[in-house]
Chains A and B, each alone.
Chain A
Amino acid sequence: MLEARELTIKYGERIAVAGVSIVLKPGEISAIIGPNGAGKSTFLEALNGQLEPASGVVLIDGQPLQKFNRRTIGRRIAVVAQEAELRFPVTVLEFVLGGRFAWAANASWGWETDHDITVANEVLHETELAELSGRLMNELSGGERQRAVLARALATEAAVLLLDEPTANLDLSHQSTLLALVRNRCDNQGAAALVVTHDINLAAEFADNVLLMKDGKSINSGKPQEVLTPSLLRDAFEIRVLVDAHPVTGVPRVTPVHETRRQV
């Protein structure tokens, strides 16, 4: 449903992403992992047109992205980006209703319909924010705010979810709740998700496919078991890792082996 073919993205002369491809399929979560500066977020930004690729093409249902206007893209692709600082007071509900913008009959003027309100309330329940809907965004904790950002993305009812470090500020339990919500969207409504993350073990657990990037290039992609191997991870992160099976779930478990450490 969303496909990127051989995307190359440049910042001026510097090549940030070099010929990376990906296919997002309904019901699947894909994860992009890789060291800092690998071009993961840049790649993600090109997938909904935020960045213009120097070459390559992004296709929505087989059609090039440029053929659609912003509102159509907004209805198809939702983004959970790293949070922008809020400088004006808005309530959680107002914030989440922002996700309904692309569905408005008129490009700019107009009011939320009853359906918009119902959808917003549903996602507020899903993300356990219903009680907070009347509170101001800047009164929330970091974890609650992050959930509100996800709630807004879910409110767009887009079939493609692009998430950039969605779990960065979350504690262990909220990390898994958040990804469970994404998993749920994929399993029940046939959504496709792409998650950029630093948490390899979370990717191993939740993702159907993993794309490993370094220096703007794709090192490998495929099932977590195929990509999360000691040799590939060592190539990418330049650190020795131990990969075994998670004792409960059986998915690959990655443990870094640090050269310098406390003596036990």
Chain B
Amino acid sequence: MTVIESHRNRSRTVYAASYNRTTLRKTLIACAVLTGALLLTVIMMSLVGSEHLPASASLCALFSFGRSQCALTTDQFDILFQIRLPRILLAAAVGGSLATAGASYQALLRNPLAEPYLLGISNGAAVGTMVALVFFGGNEWSRPLLAFVGALLATLAVYRLARGRAGATPERLVLAGVIVTTFLSSVIVFVTTLMDATRIRSFTFWLLGDLSGTSKNLLPVAIAIAIVGTVVLAANARSLNLLMLGERDAFDLGVEVGKVRIVVFVVASLLVGSSVAASGSVGYVGLVVPHLARLSLGSDNRLSIPAAALGGAVFVIVADTVARTMIAPRELPVGAITALIGAPLFIYLLKRT
């Protein structure tokens, strides 16, 4: 007994502070800092653009939440609140959604290379969106809905393909992703030929990730899905922590593996679907951001999922600001910017695994 007691005492005094485990406090602090960074990014980036807006007047209008025009002209005011801010908010929703989806796929599939774009899930959503555009063109709501269905079907296809007898190795998963991606790409090409010539160009641009077509109706939906999706996935973080170590281990330790898998597949597909419907396939966000989150804050999903969501929002806002200002007044697809950063990182990760 005395040995155990002395152990207990030692463990309380000596070891209590010698590690930095992820705690609720650490998570709250990190999320507060990142939320601050996100707000700052939203404000800063809304001042940047091809049309110069006076900074102090813009800030004044932003902090009045659009109730006061301050010293802005009506045109400037409209640029700020009708064009720039919605686009930035959409970028935030898309970035948050994709990063959260990426982080969850990585934990669930036990694979640091899992990413919606690389697994072909974004392409599945793109096919869904295209089907909606071609066959239900008039109905705006059919886009995110069919994008979700497309993403979910692509997810299930990749999952089935990647699962060998020995489980899904990283290589096998990436290979399955390549197969699904190329297959769906040819479906996209096929559907594109059904479109009239004038729409094809804007369509190809959208496919590469384009935030310029922000829809008034879908923006609140995209934001709501990003927030709710992140909350639901973060709420499964403790199960995901164990799934990250192995499906069998997680099962033995009490995780309802099947249930968690369904939750992640459905919610992550919803996140990817709503992002793709709104902005096309913005690649590599789900790879770069969760990786940075884990690198700086550790692998605990209770912290890394919300941190990835907030960081993803910042990342895509900044990438989109670059995309719309670099060769202004013309624009680049935001997906080109994220891929420019993400592809080298992917190679680096592939070499390490």
* A109 lies within 8 A of B235 (CB): yes
State whether A111 and B23 are in contact (beta carbons under 8 Å apart), knowing that A118-B8, A121-B11, A125-B10 are contacts in the complex: yes
Cβ of B142 under 8 Å from chain A: no
Q: When chains A and B are docked, how far (Å) is the Cα of A35 from the Cα of B340?
A: 54
Partner of B238, one of A78, A88, A104, A118: A104
List residues of chain A with CB within 8 A of the CB of B16: 117
Partner of B255, one of A70, A87, A93, A130: A70
* A108 lies within 8 A of B19 (CB): no
* A90 lies within 8 A of B299 (CB): yes
List residues of chain B with CB within 8 A of the CB of A118: 8, 11-12
* A108 lies within 8 A of B237 (CB): yes
List residues of chain B with CB within 8 A of the CB of A48: 252
Q: Contact string, A195-228, partner B, CB cutoff 8 A, digits 1/0?
A: 0000000000000000000000000000000000
* A87 lies within 8 A of B111 (CB): yes
**Interface-side segment among B118-126, B214-222, B242-250:** B242-250
Cβ of B7 under 8 Å from chain A: yes
* B253 lies within 8 A of A156 (CB): yes
* A102 lies within 8 A of B245 (CB): no
Cβ of B140 under 8 Å from chain A: no
* A50 lies within 8 A of B11 (CB): no
List residues of chain A with CB within 8 A of the CB of B8: 118, 122
Q: When chains A and B are docked, how far (Å) is the Cα of A87 from the Cα of B20?
A: 20
Q: How far is the CB of A117 from chain B (nearest CB, A)?
A: 7
* A88 lies within 8 A of B18 (CB): no
* A122 lies within 8 A of B7 (CB): yes
Q: When chains A and B are docked, how far (Å) is the Cα of A117 from the Cα of B253?
A: 17
* Chain B residues bordering chain A, tally (CB within 8 A): 46
Cβ of A229 under 8 Å from chain B: no
State whether A84 and B15 are in contact (beta carbons under 8 Å apart), knowing that A78-B252, A104-B238 are contacts in the complex: no
* B170 lies within 8 A of A87 (CB): yes
Task: Give chain B interface residues in 51-92, CB to chain A under 8 Å.
Answer: none
Cβ of A74 under 8 Å from chain B: yes
* B253 lies within 8 A of A91 (CB): no
Cβ of A264 under 8 Å from chain B: no
Q: How far is the CB of B103 from chain A (nearest CB, A)?
A: 11
Q: How far is the CB of A134 from chain B (nearest CB, A)?
A: 4
Task: Give chain B interface residues in 238-279, CB to chain A under 8 Å.
Answer: 238-239, 241-242, 244-246, 248-249, 251-256, 260
Task: Give chain A interface residues in 84-122, CB to chain B under 8 Å.
Answer: 84, 86-91, 93-95, 97-99, 101-102, 104, 107-112, 117-118, 121-122
List residues of chain B with CB within 8 A of the CB of A93: 19, 21
State whether A134 and B248 are in contact (beta carbons under 8 Å apart), knowing that A75-B254, A108-B238 are contacts in the complex: no
State whether A81 and B238 are in contact (beta carbons under 8 Å apart), knowing that A87-B112, A87-B170 are contacts in the complex: no
Partner of A101, one of B22, B254, B299: B254
* A71 lies within 8 A of B254 (CB): yes
List residues of chain B with CB within 8 A of the CB of A112: 21
List residues of chain A with CB within 8 A of the CB of B172: none
List residues of chain A with CB within 8 A of the CB of B241: 94, 98
Q: How far is the CB of B44 from chain A (nearest CB, A)?
A: 33
* B249 lies within 8 A of A81 (CB): yes
* A79 lies within 8 A of B252 (CB): yes
Q: Which A residue sits closest to B242, measured CB to CB? A: A98
Task: Classify chain A: how many residues form its interface, as a range.
Answer: 35 or more
Q: How far is the CB of A30 from chain B (nearest CB, A)?
A: 18
Q: How far is the CB of A195 from chain B (nearest CB, A)?
A: 16
Task: Give chain B interface residues in 275-324, CB to chain A under 8 Å.
Answer: 294, 298-300, 302
Q: When chains A and B are docked, how far (Å) is the Cα of A124 from the Cα of B21?
A: 15
List residues of chain B with CB within 8 A of the CB of A104: 238
Q: When chains A and B are docked, how far (Å) is the Cα of A121 from the Cα of B16?
A: 9
* A133 lies within 8 A of B15 (CB): yes
Q: How far is the CB of B177 from chain A (nearest CB, A)?
A: 16
Cβ of B24 under 8 Å from chain A: yes
Cβ of B4 under 8 Å from chain A: yes
Q: Which B residue sits closest to A99, measured CB to CB? A: B253
Cβ of A69 under 8 Å from chain B: yes
* B244 lies within 8 A of A81 (CB): no
List residues of chain A with CB within 8 A of the CB of B234: 109
Q: When chains A and B are docked, how far (Å) is the Cα of A110 from the Cα of B246?
A: 20
* B235 lies within 8 A of A88 (CB): no
Partner of A81, one of B18, B248, B353: B248
List residues of chain A with CB within 8 A of the CB of B22: 94
* B254 lies within 8 A of A73 (CB): yes
Task: Give chain A interface residues in 139-159, CB to chain B under 8 Å.
Answer: 152, 156
- CB-defined A-B contacts under 8 Å, sample of 24: A72-B254, A77-B252, A84-B245, A84-B249, A87-B112, A87-B170, A90-B244, A90-B299, A93-B19, A99-B253, A101-B242, A108-B238, A109-B234, A109-B238, A109-B302, A111-B24, A112-B21, A121-B7, A122-B8, A124-B15, A125-B10, A133-B15, A134-B18, A134-B19
Question: B residues bordering A, Cβ < 8 Å?
Answer: 4, 7-8, 10-12, 15-16, 18-24, 107, 110-112, 170, 234-239, 241-242, 244-246, 248-249, 251-256, 260, 294, 298-300, 302, 353
- Kindly list 14 other residue pairs between chains A and B, CB separation below 8 angstroms, not including A70-B251, A98-B241, A101-B239: A69-B256, A74-B255, A78-B252, A81-B248, A84-B249, A88-B112, A94-B241, A98-B253, A109-B234, A109-B236, A117-B16, A118-B11, A121-B12, A125-B11
Closest 10 CB pairs of A and B: A74-B254, A84-B246, A121-B11, A102-B254, A134-B19, A79-B252, A71-B254, A109-B235, A88-B299, A125-B7
